[in-house]
Amino acid sequence: MISPAAGEFTFGAYNKAFLGKREGFSGLVFASDDARRDQKDFAASRLQTYPTFDFSRQAKLPSGQEVTVGFSLSFVTDPRLPEVVFFVSQQHAAQHFWKPEYQRHANGALAVSEAIMLADDPASLVSLFAGLQGKDAVATGPGQLVVKTARGQVTALDRRRAVERFGDALPKGPQSPHFIAYRIAVSDLVHTTTMLDKAGVAHHSHAGAVQIAASDAFNTIIEFAAA
């Protein structure tokens, strides 16, 4: 089990411990405009929280100008998911990050639209995700749980449905719920496929999407789909 020190969460130590066990998708971050408020809301929902962590540094813009950039992070862990951390990130001076010229990608990527988790009993995670995103954001169905977010969704699948979507070669991971894949929305799936071919990246098509196997992507399935 990967456990933070009592009363605090250290991102670097957590990921060092994670990578000591395996490669993969170690956590999920949500955007926030007030990390401290979110931490209080998480605590009120009886989630396992930690003091908000702030950091900043000097950054140099393409013009040569130096500016201060920073973040405030509030973390949530759950003993049922020892190899997953959730957190919100509040960007300070966000204007230095969210620039159109920084968001154009040769492969046509527009956004991360979905994060996919494997869980034996997805419905058992309702209270966790309701605390993270609000109860109205969470819906369950046979063998799955879907959580709507401001920029996409989180999906938890049982093993049967994960195999239906991704095949038998699922990423190596623990018996506890853990992330196995993420989906990237692209402007033109044919163009993205051509880029992958030119780069020599192995891939295959499935159900209208293009997937890169976990064995070729640091133990995480990457899925591309038209926006």
Q: What is the mean pLDDT of the chain?
A: 94
Residue 211 has pLDDT above 60, yes or no: yes
Please tell me the distance from the alpha carbon of residue 81 to that of residue 73, in angstroms, as a whole number: 19
Dist. CA 117–CA 161, nearest whole Å: 11
For tokens 């509040």, the residue is 90
User: Would you state the pLDDT for residue 4?
Assistant: 52
Spatial contact of 47 and 125, defined as CB atoms under 8 Å apart: no
- Domain 105-226 in CATH: superfamily? 2,3-Dihydroxybiphenyl 1,2-Dioxygenase, domain 1 (3.10.180.10)
Q: Which CATH class is domain 11-101?
A: alpha beta
pLDDT of 179-189, one tens digit each?
Answer: 999 999 999 99
Which value, to the nearest 10 degrees, does the dihedral of the CA atoms of residues 155, 106, 97, 132 take?
0
Strand ranges, E, within the chain: 27-32, 48-49, 53-60, 66-77, 85-92, 109-118, 138-141, 144-149, 152-157, 178-186, 204-206, 209-212, 221-226
Q: Show the tokens assigned to 84.
A: 């997953």
pLDDT value at position 1? Answer: 42
Within 10 A of 114 (CB to CB), how many other CB atoms are there?
A: 19
Give pLDDT tens digits for 25-54: 999 999 999 999 999 999 999 999 999 999
Give the separation between CA 180 and CA 219, rounded to whole angstroms. Answer: 8
Give pLDDT tens digits for 94-138.
898 888 888 889 999 999 999 999 999 999 999 999 999 999 999
CA dihedral 135, 82, 8, 40 (to 10 degrees): 0
- Give the residue extent of every domain in the chain: 11-101, 105-226
